[in-house]
């Protein structure tokens, strides 16, 4: 290396995630072109993403396809397949989020039918996935009543990007100390524009609202 | 940790732009509303740069606060947290700064 030469400063002013954002835009254009609506589903591990999807696959009168992001196992994909929807599993290994390139590869494998609803179950994590646009049309964040009503304040980045926040496991409300109104207030504080629904993915409470939101273009 | 993925993105970009020249220093602007932690970024940087043209390069972080413009009192206000609310009590605000995640510049030999 020649240290006699002075270092030169080069101005870049480039977005760090420019490449991901470009790929995401291409994904969105491809999907929109085929009349497919894509929804990025995010939450902590165990909030009920897969359970809500299984039920949606069984009950929604519209073709559904799913991309399952998981660090290691194919278990969630097996559950979705058993529920009756085409699914592609993406194992991220140590990666804590999906990105637009992984989504594109999964899309090419899955080839969802025109007019279908495509769900992407992101890796269970309330921080990392918020930064990576996949090419979705809407972002849904799930929080369950066993997690604490202050989650939106503890993970504001995630709740700030949500179009819809689903408060799940309301069947457990009699057994846990969870203030639904406080949770709603916290969501609204970090994201005044977010729609909020309360559901029980296992018992079925509130699911008509969820299906209405999905069909309403959300 | 998404900071590693972010650091790898930065290394990729600067190495491409440096076109083979060694990179000595990189400046990155991070807004307070991005979910990127400065300490974690610094931790991941050397790992991401190892074995590339940015090997050993210094990483400078230009940290920017979150700012909103309030339509009620028509002022710019810095946010102490992630809640888009003006100290005057109004929530009728637009975020004007804090979402930056930019590679500002690099120094090449
Ligand atoms: N009581 C109750 N349990 C639920 C509900 N939804 C999901 N679960 C349970 O929560 C656990 C985690 O659910 P899962 O769908 O795998 O969560 P994911 O990690 O977000 O995909 C499972 O044992 C589910 O049966 C619900 O509405 N009520
Ligand atoms: Mg799951
Ligand atoms: Zn004000």
**Tally of CB atoms within 10 A around B72:** 12
Give which of A15, A16, A102 to mutate to test B binding, by max B Cβ within 10 Å.
Answer: A16
Cα–Cα dist A42/A60, whole Å: 20
| pLDDT attached to residue A218 | 44
A22 pLDDT tier (thresholds 50, 70, 90): very high
Q: Which CATH number fits domain B2-108: 3.40.605.10, 3.30.56.10, 3.30.2320.80, 1.10.2020.10?
A: 3.30.2320.80
Ligand 2 centre and the CA of A104: distance in Å? 20
> Does residue A5 carry a pLDDT above 80?
no
A45 pLDDT tier (thresholds 50, 70, 90): very high
Domains delineated in chain A = 18-215 (3.40.50.300)
Q: Which chain A residue shows the shortest CA-CA distance from B90?
A: A189
Around ligand 1, the residues with Cβ closer than 6 Å are A 43, 45-51, 124, 168-169, 171-172, 200-202
Cα–Cα dist B66/A70, whole Å: 33
Name the pTM for this structure. 0.91
Q: Quick one: average pLDDT of B11-37?
A: 95
Q: What is the pLDDT of residues A118-156, one digit of tens each?
A: 999 999 989 888 999 999 999 999 999 999 999 999 999
Cα-based distances in Å from B52 to A52, A165, B46, B104 = 44, 41, 10, 19
| pLDDT attached to residue A212 | 97
Closest of B58, B63, B12 to residue B37, by C-alpha: B63
Q: In this prediction, what percent of chain A has a pLDDT beyond 70?
A: 97
Nearest 10 degrees: CA dihedral of A23, A28, A29, A33?
Answer: 140
What is the DSSP pairing of strand B67-70 with strand B93-97?
Answer: antiparallel
ipTM of the prediction:
0.84
Nearest residue, CB atoms, B103 vs list A8, A16, A127: A16
State both tokens at A32: 């929109």
Q: Quick one: average pLDDT of B66-87?
A: 92
């Amino acid at each position: 290396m020649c240290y006699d030469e002075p270092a030169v400063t080069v101005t870049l002013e480039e977005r760090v995630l420019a490449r991901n954002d470009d790929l995401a835009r291409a994904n969105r254009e491809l999907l929109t072109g085929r009349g497919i609506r894509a929804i990025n589903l995010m939450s902590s591990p165990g909030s009920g993403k897969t359970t809500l999807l299984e039920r949606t696959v069984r009950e929604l009168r519209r073709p559904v396809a799913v991309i399952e992001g998981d660090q290691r196992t194919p278990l969630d994909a097996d559950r979705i397949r058993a529920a009756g929807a085409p699914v592609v599993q993406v194992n991220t290994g140590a990666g804590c989020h999906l990105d637009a390139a992984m989504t594109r590869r999964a899309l090419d494998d899955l080839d969802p039918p025109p007019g279908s609803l495509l769900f992407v179950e992101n890796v269970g994590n309330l921080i990392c996935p918020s930064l990576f646009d996949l090419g979705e049309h809407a972002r849904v964040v799930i929080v369950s009543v066993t997690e604490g009503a202050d989650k939106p304040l503890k993970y504001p980045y995630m709740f700030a990007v949500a179009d819809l926040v689903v408060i799940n496991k309301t069947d457990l409300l009699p057994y846990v100390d969870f203030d639904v109104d406080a949770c709603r207030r916290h969501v609204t504080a970090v994201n005044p524009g977010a729609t909020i629904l309360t559901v029980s993915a296992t018992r079925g409470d509130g699911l008509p609202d969820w299906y209405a939101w999905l069909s309403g273009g959300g | 940790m998404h900071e590693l993925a972010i650091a790898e993105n930065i290394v990729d970009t600067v190495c491409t732009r440096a076109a083979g020249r060694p990179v000595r220093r990189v400046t990155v602007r991070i807004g307070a509303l991005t979910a990127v932690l400065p300490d974690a970024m610094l931790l991941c940087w050397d790992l991401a740069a190892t074995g590339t043209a940015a090997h050993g390069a210094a990483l400078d972080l230009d940290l920017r606060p979150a700012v909103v413009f309030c339509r009620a009192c028509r002022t710019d206000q810095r946010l102490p947290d992630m809640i888009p609310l003006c100290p005057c009590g109004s929530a009728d605000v637009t975020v004007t700064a804090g979402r930056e995640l930019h590679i500002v510049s690099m120094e090449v030999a």
